[in-house]
């Protein structure tokens, strides 16, 4: 998209926004438009030159900054933004699919209403474009209540099955949901463990949103799980054949050490035996644990268990 196009879209939104929020601060307006303060001030300068012929003084947009707040006195009929374009509606509808089916009826009704605010002439194009992105991520049902609990700042309880252990009850302040490589995680403060924790949504059961409110910390951002970067002492050396090497290199980048035969070697955290064995087995015969011997034995045990020998 050209810069002119982006700028026009921004400016056609800016004037109505100030009209609706008279006295909005320069910083808040810049944030709403996702541009820098300097760029915003430049845009405001340009707008004072915009108007309609015959360009008498009253024909110009009268927008100004006073005491770091923005006001508009003459909006020249730009009091509401333009409708959604087909592309805008399609991108939003495709993004909404990320949370399907967790969001249930709310998603479907939202999409119906969305279609209602596109100009009728653009609807066919919207449907055509919407079909061009398929982002259905098979979101787990727990996303719905967890999103609500995060927004409403309410604690949640659930049973959590750590690998190899029976589910145990947890009470958690939910901070953030994170999807990484198709797996959903909840980051939050666990009362049971008195510590920040990352929970996999597929290991939760009997999730309930309580009525206990909490104040989240200002910046609770979960770290993306990366087995090659974990700080664990118990590291495991895994060798991959030349067949699997390109895929492992693609995933681990420089953390994958090239070997003379064209294969690669990776060091990963070995503190979760279940994760490690599942991961190694998922490469069929293309991965081999080199050390420690206990991890090699764990893989062999897992294979025996799988084939019932």
Partner 1 sequence: MDRTERILDLVALLLDAREPISWAELREHFPADYGGSDDAAERKFERDKAELVELGFPLSYVQGDDERRDGYLVDRNVYYLPEADLTKEELAVLYAAGSAALASGAFPGRDDLAHALRKIGFFAGESLPTPRVRMELGTGQEGQEKEVSARLEQLWDACSAHKWVQITYGSPRKDGVTERRVDPYGLALRRGVWTLVGYCHLRQGLRTFHVHRIRELKVNTARPRTPDFEVPADFSLDAHVAYFPWQYRFHEPMEVTLQLTGPQASRAGSLFPGAALEPVGEGVVRARFPVTFLDGLARFVLSLGADCRMEGPPEARERLERMAANILAKHAPVEGQRVSA
Q: DSSP letter for 262, please.
A: S
Least distance (Å) from partner 1 to the CB of residue 194? 22
Does 165 help bind partner 1 (rule: CB under 8 A)? no
CA distance 289 to 138: 32
Q: How many CB atoms lie within 10 A of CB 135?
A: 12
Which residue, 29 or 170, is less far from partner 1 as judged by CB? 29
Interacting residues with partner 1 between 123 and 152 (CB under 8 A):
129, 131-138, 143, 147-148, 150-151
The footprint of partner 1 on this chain (CB under 8 A) covers a number of residues equal to 123
Residues 226-255 that bind partner 1 (CB under 8 A): 226, 246-247, 249-253
Q: Taking the CB of residue 217, how many other CB atoms lie within 10 A of it?
A: 11
Binding of partner 1 at residue 20 (CB under 8 A)?
yes
Indicate whether 28 belongs to the interface with partner 1 (CB under 8 A). Answer: no
Which of 76, 157, 230, 232 is close enough to bind partner 1 by CB under 8 A?
76
Taking CB under 8 A as the rule, does residue 34 contact partner 1? Answer: yes
> Token pair of 195, please?
């510590």
Stretch touching partner 1 by CB under 8 A, among 22-30, 62-70, 121-129, 207-215: 121-129
**94 within 8 A of 88, measured Cβ to Cβ:** no
120 scored as a contact of partner 1 (CB under 8 A): yes
* β-sheet bridge partners, residue 66: 69
Residue 304 in the binding site for partner 1 (CB under 8 A): yes
Give the x/- contact pattern for partner 1 in 39-68, rule: CB under 8 A: -------xx-xxxxxx----x-x-------
Residues 6 or more apart in contact with residue 260 via CB below 8 angstroms: none
User: Is residue 83 helix, strand or coil?
Assistant: coil
Candidates 73, 83, 210, 223; binder of partner 1 (CB under 8 A) is: 83
Name the strands in the sheet holding 264-269, side by side, starting at the edge strand that comes first in the sequence. Answer: 257-258, 264-269, 235-240, 287-291
d(CA 309, CA 307): 6
Instruction: Measure the CA–CA gap between 56 and 303, rounded to whole angstroms.
Output: 84
Cα(289)–Cα(298) distance, rounded to whole angstroms?
Answer: 10
Backbone Cα Rg of the chain:
27
> Could you say which of 180, 192, 210, 223 contacts partner 1 (CB under 8 A)?
180
Any contact of residue 16 with partner 1 (CB under 8 A)? yes
Q: How far is the CB of 118 from partner 1 (least distance, A)?
A: 8
Query: What's the token pair of residue 220?
Result: 């609770």
Q: What is the nearest approach in angstroms of partner 1 to the Cβ of residue 96?
A: 4
Q: 40, 44, 156, 175: which one contacts partner 1 (CB under 8 A)?
A: 175
Of 24, 25, 81, 230, the one binding partner 1 by CB under 8 A: 81
Say if residues 111 and 123 touch (Cβ distance below 8 Å). Answer: no
CA–CA separation, 306 and 309 (whole Å): 8
Q: In this structure, are strands 257-258 and 264-269 parallel, antiparallel, or unpaired?
A: antiparallel
Q: Does 78 bind partner 1 (CB under 8 A)?
A: yes
Note whether 283 binds partner 1 by CB under 8 A.
yes
Closest CB to partner 1 among residues 26, 75: 75
């Amino acid at each position: 998209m050209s810069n002119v196009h982006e700028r026009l879209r921004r400016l056609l939104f800016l004037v109505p926004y100030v009209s609706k929020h008279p006295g909005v601060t320069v910083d808040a307006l810049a944030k709403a438009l996702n541009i820098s303060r300097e760029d915003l001030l430049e845009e405001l300068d340009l707008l004072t030159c915009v108007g309609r012929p015959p360009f008498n003084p009253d024909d110009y947009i009268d927008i100004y900054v006073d005491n770091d707040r923005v006001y508009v006195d003459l909006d020249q009929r730009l009091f509401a933004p333009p409708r959604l374009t087909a592309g805008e509606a399609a991108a939003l509808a495709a993004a909404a699919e990320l949370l399907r089916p967790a969001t249930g009826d709310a998603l479907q009704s939202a999409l119906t209403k969305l279609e209602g605010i596109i100009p009728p002439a653009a609807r066919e194009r919207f449907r055509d474009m919407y079909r061009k992105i398929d982002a259905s991520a098979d979101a787990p049902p727990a996303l719905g209540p967890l999103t609500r609990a995060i927004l409403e700042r309410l604690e949640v309880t659930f049973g959590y099955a750590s690998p190899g252990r029976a589910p145990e009850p947890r009470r958690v302040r939910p901070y953030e949901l994170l999807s990484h490589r198709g797996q959903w995680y909840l980051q939050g403060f666990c009362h049971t463990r008195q510590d920040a924790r990352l929970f996999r949504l597929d290991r939760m059961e009997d999730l309930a949103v309580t009525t206990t409110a909490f104040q989240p910390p200002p910046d609770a951002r979960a770290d993306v799980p990366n087995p090659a970067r974990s700080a664990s002492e118990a590291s495991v050396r895994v060798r991959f054949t030349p067949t699997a090497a390109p895929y492992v290199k693609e995933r681990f980048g420089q953390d994958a050490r090239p070997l003379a035969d064209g294969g690669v070697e990776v060091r990963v955290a070995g503190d979760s035996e279940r994760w490690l064995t599942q991961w190694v087995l998922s490469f069929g015969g293309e991965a081999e644990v080199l050390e420690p011997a206990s991890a090699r034995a764990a893989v062999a045990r897992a294979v025996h268990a799988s084939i019932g020998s």
